[in-house]
Structure 1
Amino acid sequence: MLNALTAQVRAAHLLVRPEEEWDALTDDLWRAYDSKDSDLVEQLSEPYLASWRVVTRNLLAEPLAAAGIRVARPAHPWAIATLERAGVVREPLLCSLDQDMSDPWEAAAAGGGLQLQHFNDIMAGYESCLKELLSTSAA
């Protein structure tokens, strides 16, 4: 089931735009953060987050539900969605985190700035979340 669901997640995202475009969006937002252009960051961040989140909400809700995974709004500011199965909650992220920090904004910005990930790394993180969720027993 994991392989099929992972393939659906990847295909749904690639249906919206090719990998290169996802990575270009990431690079544009990273450059805005790096240049400390708060206006550009604000202009780019909402559409960036929305584009990732809409895929899960609109294209993947049914396949995830069929696997017993509930989709909800993300709690972490850089998460795609909150995924829950049998009481286990995971959030696929768009950035790397410093796991030693409790504040989600600070954890996402550790190491001198926001560490956004590219498409394949995001997909690997998504797969990791799904693997953890599917390894739990459905109630």
Structure 2
Amino acid sequence: MTLNELLARLRAGHLMVRSAREWDDLATELSRAFQAGDEELIEQLRPPFLQSWRTVTRYVLQDDFDAAGISVSDPSSAWGIAVLESGGRSVEPLLAAPTHRVGESMEALDGFTVLGYEETLAGYTHDLGRLLTADDALSVTTPPAA
């Protein structure tokens, strides 16, 4: 399986569960809750937002990752989707971009920006490209949007 095929399946797997707009709406709602400091709403929105992304990676895409020689394990970061490993290398795609200084926690309610659908997939693409190098005979290019 080429990287382009894997990325196309990654995109299709997520779009089977929700449209890009629905993924973006979830991210926007969660971002607004953080901006408003509404901890009750954050606690209501954050777990299903994280779990949706993690479930698609862990279960919907498991066969595709297996076919590409990638193992999937639980994330180590509070905003991680999963830890992906192959050939002794590992990456962890994130659902939030850190805006904090090194050493500060991403667990806090500030210090990050929740990513939308395309931003998350761009990060996923970057991470998978780093994980599956040219040595693995996979090309690193972004597939066209579905």
Do the two structures share a fold, i.e. TM-score over 0.5?
A: yes
Partner of 2:6: 5
Partner of 2:51: 50
Letter in 2 for 1:119: Y
Q: Deviations over 1:32-55 (max 9, x none)?
A: 111111011001100110011000
Q: Which has the higher contact order (CA 8 A, sep 6+)?
A: 2
Is residue 34–residue 110 contact of structure 2 (8 Å, CA) maintained in 1? no
Number of residue pairs aligned between Structure 1 and Structure 2: 135
TM-score, scaled to structure 1: 0.89
Structure 2 unmatched ranges of 5 or more: 137-146
Distance 2:54 2:42 in 1: 18
Residue 65 of structure 1 and its aligned partner are, at CA, apart by 1.1
Q: Deviations over 1:90-135 (max 9, x none)?
A: 011111124851344169832xxx3011100100110111111111
Partner of 1:125: 123
TM-score, scaled to structure 2: 0.85
User: How do 1:92-131 and structure 2 match up within 5 A?
Assistant: 92-98=93-99, 100-105=101-106, 109-110=110-111, 114-131=112-129
Is residue 96–residue 117 contact of structure 1 (8 Å, CA) maintained in 2? yes
More helix by share: 1
Q: Deviations over 1:46-95 (max 9, x none)?
A: 01100110000111111111111100000011011110111111011111
1:77 aligns with 2:78: yes
User: How do 1:14-93 and structure 2 match up within 5 A?
Assistant: 14-93=15-94
Structure 1 unmatched ranges of 5 or more: none
Identity of aligned residues (%): 41
